[in-house]
Structure 1
Amino acid sequence: MKKIILLFAVLAISLASGQTMQDSITFDPQKQLNAAQRLLSGNYGKAVTVGAYGELTYNQPEGQNGELDVQRLVVLFGYKFDDKTQFVTELEFEHVEEIFVEQAFVNYAIGSNVSLRGGLMLVPMGIINEFHEPTTFNGVERPAMDNVIVPTTWREIGVGVTGRFNDLSLSYQAYIFNGFKSTSSDGADGLSGYLSGSSGLRGGRQKAIKSTIDSPTLSVKFDYYGIPGLRLGLSAYTGKTQAADDIEELDGANIGTTMFGLDARYAYQRFTARGQFVYASLNDTEAYNLATGKDLGSALQGYYLEGAYNLLSQEKRQRLFAFLRYEQYDTHADTAGGLMRNDAYNRTDITTGLSYHIAPGVVLKGDYQFRDNALSGDQVNDRLNFGVGVWF
Structure 2
Amino acid sequence: MKHRRTSCTIAILTALLMFGFAPTVGAEDEKELSLEERIKKLEKLSDELLQHELADHDLEDQQQKRKAQAAGLRYGGSGGLIYARPGYSNPRAVIGGYMDLEYANLKGPTNARRNPNASFDQTRFVPFIYSDVTENTRMAAELEVEHGIGEAELEFAVIDHSFAEWINFRAGVILLPVGKFNLVHDSPINDLTQRPEVTLRVIPGVLREPGVGVFGTFYPTRLSKLDYEVYITQGMNGFSKDGTPRITDAGGLAGARWQTTDVGLNLDNNNNQALVGRLAYSPILGVELGVSGYHAKIDPESKRPLTIGALDWTFMRGPWEFLGEAAYTTIKGNDRDLDGRFIGLPERMFGWYGQFNYHFMPTFIQQLAPKYFSDDSIFTGVFRVDDVNTNLDTPGLEGDVFRITPGINFRPTEDTVFKFEYQYNFEPNRITGRDVMNDGIVLSVATYF
Q: TM-score range by the shorter chain?
A: 0.7 to 0.9
Once the two structures are superposed, residues 170-209 of structure 1 have per-residue CA deviations (whole angstroms, 9 ceiling, x without a partner) of 00000011111111333xxxx2221112211110112285
Q: Give the TM-score, by structure 2 length.
A: 0.69
Which residue of structure 2 lines up, in the alignment, with residue 277 of structure 1? 326
8 Å contact 1:128–1:152 — kept in the other structure? no
For normalisation by structure 1, the TM-score amounts to 0.79
Mapping 1:8-19, distance limit 5 Å = none
Pair 1:116-2:169 in alignment? yes
Distance 1:193 1:310, change over 3 A: same
Query: What is the alpha-carbon distance in structure 1 between the residues aligned to residue 286 and residue 241 of structure 2?
Result: 50
The residue type paired with residue 371 of structure 1 is: N
Matches of 1:197 and 1:95 in 2, distance apart? 24
Match of 2:208 among 155, 158, 163: 155
The CA deviation at 1:277 is 0.7
- CA apart distance, 1:341: 4.2
Aligned partner (choices 316, 331, 335) of residue 390 of structure 2: 331
Structure 2 residue 118 is matched with structure 1 residue 66: yes
Which residue number in structure 1 is paired with residue 401 of structure 2? 347
Aligned residue type for 2:388: Y
Aligned to 2:255: 203
**CA–CA distance in structure 1, aligned partners of residues 379 and 127 of structure 2:** 27
Counterpart of 1:183 in structure 2 is 239
RMSD, aligned α-carbons? 2.2
**Deviations 1:320-376 (CA, angstroms, capped at 9, x unpaired):** 011110110100123xxxxx4444432101011112111110000010100012453
1:210-359 map, 5 Å: 210-212=266-268, 213-241=270-298, 243=299, 248-249=300-301, 255-288=304-337, 295-312=344-361, 316-334=375-393, 340-359=394-413
Query: Displacement of 1:46 after TM fit?
Result: 6.2
Q: Secondary structure at the match of 1:184?
A: coil
Given that residues 244 and 337 in structure 2 are in contact (C-alpha distance below 8 angstroms), is that contact kept between their aligned partners in structure 1? no
Partner of 1:33: none
The 2-side partners of 1:123 and 1:77 are apart by 19
Question: Take 1:358 and 1:303, find their aligned partners in 2: how far apart are those partners?
Answer: 31
Larger radius of gyration: 2
| Residue in structure 1 matched with residue 56 of structure 2 by the alignment | none
The corresponding residue for 2:143 is: 91
Say which SS state the counterpart of residue 145 (structure 1) adopts: helix
Q: Runs of 5+ in structure 1 lacking a partner? A: 1-44, 335-339
Query: Residue 25 of structure 1 corresponds to which residue in structure 2?
Result: none
Cα distance in structure 2, aligned partners of 1:50 and 1:292: 51
C-alpha contact (below 8 Å) 1:54/1:74 kept by paired residues:
yes
Q: By how many angstroms is 1:167 displaced?
A: 2.3
Q: Deviations over 1:20-71 (max 9, x none)?
A: xxxxxxxxxxxxxxxxxxxxxxxxx962111201111111111653111110
Q: CA deviation at 1:296?
A: 2.4
SS at match of 1:129: helix
CA contact (8 A) 1:312 1:319 kept: yes
CA contact (8 A) 1:133 1:391 kept: no
Q: For 2:188, what is the secondary structure of its paired residue?
A: helix
Equivalent pair of 2:198/2:326 in contact (CA under 8 Å)? no
* 1:146 matches 2:195: no
Report the count of equivalent residues. Answer: 331
- Alignment partner, residue 84 of structure 2: none
Matched, 1:53 2:109: no
Say which SS state the counterpart of residue 182 (structure 2) adopts: coil
Richer in helix (by share): 2
Following the alignment from structure 1 to structure 2, what is the Cα–Cα distance between the partners of residues 53 and 62?
30
- Residue 280 of structure 2 aligns with an amino acid whose one-letter code is D
Partners of 1:283 and 1:150 lie apart in 2 by 16
CA distance in 1, matches of 2:424, 2:445: 21
TM-superposition CA deviations, 1:126-173 (whole Å, max 9, x none) = 122110111221211111221111111110001000001122510000
Query: 1:67, 1:359 → 2: CA distance?
Result: 27
Letter paired with 2:359: N
Following the alignment from structure 2 to structure 1, what is the Cα–Cα distance between the partners of residues 154 and 341? 29
Distance (whole Å) between structure 2 residues aligned to residue 312 and residue 294 of structure 1: 54
Question: SS of 2:275's equivalent?
Answer: strand
Q: Could you say which structure has the greater relative contact order, defined with CA pairs below 8 angstroms and 6 or more residues apart?
A: 1
